[in-house]
Amino acid sequence: MFDVDLKKFPAAAGVYLMKGSQDEVLYVGKAKHLRNRLRGYFSATGDGRAHIRFLMNRVAAIDTIVTDTEKEALLLENTLIKKYRPRYNINLRDDKTYVSLRIDLREEFPTLQLVRRVKKDGARYFGPYSSAVAVRETLKLIYRIFPLRHYPLETCRRRDRPCLYHQIDQCSAPCHGLIGHSEYRVLVDGAVALLAGREKEVVTLLQQRMSTAAEQLDFEQAARLRDQLQAIEQTVEQQKVAEAGGGDQDVVGLHREGGEVELAILFVREGKVIGRRSYSLEWRLAEDELLSSFLQEFYSREVFVPDRLLLPLAVEDAETLADWLSERKGKKVHLLVPQRGGGRQLVEMARRNAEEAYREKGSRREARHQVLRDIATRLQLRRLPQRIECFDVSNVQGRFSVASMAVLSDGEPDKGAYRHFRIRTVAGSDDYASLYEVLKRRLTRGMEEEMLPDFILIDGGKGQLAVLSAVLDELALSDRIDAVGMAKSRVRSNVRGKAVERSAERFFLLGRKNPVVLRQGSPALFMLERLRDEAHRFAITYHRKLRRQSTLRSALEDIPGVGAQRRKALLRHFGSLKKIKQATLQQLEEMPGLPKNLAERIFATFHREGPPE
């Protein structure tokens, strides 16, 4: 640990950056009183957190940035963490992707959309929900009860007749004028009430409509409404009621065993628990500082901010966090630490969920580690491969050459660490040269950031493995990183060309002539196959994206007056490049915001004739 004069640190609010010998940022923190906070790291007893003790042995310098307020320090800390991605700050990795439902009540005829990001755009959001399948089932129910539109109005208005959803009574067809604004608004209000948990309002509305239908002797409609009421009642019965003041609130639970921490969040909307997220945190932070950092990172993303947060313990900067969250939400947000009653019961429920998530992940983690140990044994690796990276190159006849890197961390896909690469120095379809460039770039940067894999899996045989070996030798990493080439299985054929059998996947090791074959169906083979397939999928997806962009640019970019924004607008309006080419002059002229002379120019370009006289 380096010597430091604590008196030089300011006695004010601000942010501190701990740096290593290469001037890399190792840790970013904030403090109401910088000198007091940093004194704790250099006290005689030392900081009690295991990873901080290890961190301080690597710290070569500490920089501080003074701010006027604690809130400014919080915002600056968040910015610096995103900029530097310090390895000793917490990193939240979801075990699932979560979805929300969005409806913009300012639209002419609002509709529900399934989204994965909550934006501050004036629309109303419901969720988050842990299961996209369950949300789609909910949408089916809502459309049967409240037949809102499914597709963009402009798309539907170009049709000669309403879509199939209208034929099966799941769309009221506002695009063709079959329902007025006021009637449609009644449907919207009912759908919003149902999603918001106000089922009594919906039930009352449907009962009134059922009675009216029965009085008018429309027994078929009355029967449909009766079935809809029963569906709502069954749905409501399956939901868990949380009697803790109602409204929207997130409840945080914390479970800790030694240096491992599991955090769980329960999402309570209109008094009902609708979902849960859980996070395993790698470092042993003090619990109040950990909770503060967790809340800051979680809510800095595009997620819904509730009216209240129920916490298991108090955090020092609760007031600052509340102000920051209130700004993000646009209304007052309260951070509470309930001591009794329904709120305390909810926090205890969240704690039990965190404990259960820790137990489940512990079992899965041990199973994954067993698979990693098996891989290390069978492929003669020198260490347990806690971080595995797999590379793949993709191109078509040398055009749009790209590469991808897929990553396994502790045996699980780490999608936040996946990377795309554009090939910069290689012309044509030279896969070996492209692979060399990508590996050299990745490992050089990894050495600078001190983030190197334990094991690299190359999609290919001896040739690709030789390229990887050359890069490792050049960078003096041969003793640090294990390398294996994975050749795809081959189909052996008889003399008549008919397939006889498929060979096993082959793994080529450095210094070994014959490949290693893992047992078919083994967990080790499945894990490596999945990683290889992920790298291939990621490369192909990026390659296709570049080709689509190039196709659109090459067809439109030569037309004077059609820039990047205009290309996007044309594609958004017509739906595809093919439809733009097929559009009539009248359809082009009817596009909002497209000048008449430009419409004539686009039409002439795709129909190989001059502009109309």
Tokens 């006027």 correspond to 68
DSSP 318-339: HHHHHHHHHHHHTS--EEE---
The CA distance from 227 to 502, in Å, is 54
Are β-strands 419-422 and 240-241 bridged in parallel, bridged antiparallel, or unpaired?
unpaired
CATH architecture designation of domain 6-84: 3-Layer(aba) Sandwich (3.40)
CATH entry, 387-545, from 3.40.50.300, 3.40.1260.10, 3.30.420.340, 3.90.1170.40: 3.30.420.340
557-607 fold:
DNA polymerase; domain 1 (1.10.150)
Residue 442 has pLDDT above 70, yes or no: yes
For residue 355, give Cα distances in angstroms to 129, 131, 190, 507.
21, 21, 38, 40
Range list for CATH 1.10.150.20 in the chain: 557-607
Sheet containing strand 25-31, strands side by side:
25-31, 14-19, 61-66
Range list for CATH 3.40.1440.10 in the chain: 6-84
* Averaged pLDDT of the chain: 81
The CA distance from 340 to 331, in Å, is 26
What are 373-427's pLDDT values in tens digits?
999 999 999 999 999 999 988 765 556 678 889 999 888 888 888 888 888 787 6
Q: Tell me the mean pLDDT in the region 518-540.
A: 87
Q: Is the peptide bond before 128 cis (omega within 30 degrees of 0)?
A: yes
CA dihedral for 423, 426, 430, 434, sign (positive or negative): negative
pLDDT score for 612: 39
CATH entry, 249-359, from 3.40.309.10, 3.40.50.12780, 3.40.50.10890, 3.30.420.10: 3.30.420.10
Percent of the chain with pLDDT over 90: 15
CB atoms within 10 A of CB 2: 12
Range list for CATH 3.30.420.10 in the chain: 249-359
The DSSP output letter for 496 is T
Q: How far apart are the first and last CA of the chain?
A: 82
Range name among 42-51, 168-177, 275-284 with the lowest pLDDT average: 42-51
What are 147-191's pLDDT values in tens digits?
899 888 878 888 888 888 888 888 888 888 888 888 898 888 888
Higher pLDDT, 36 or 92: 36
pLDDT score for 239: 44
DSSP 116-184: S---SSS-EEEEEES-HHHHHHHHHHHHHHS----S-HHHHHTSSS--HHHHTTS---GGGTSS-HHHH
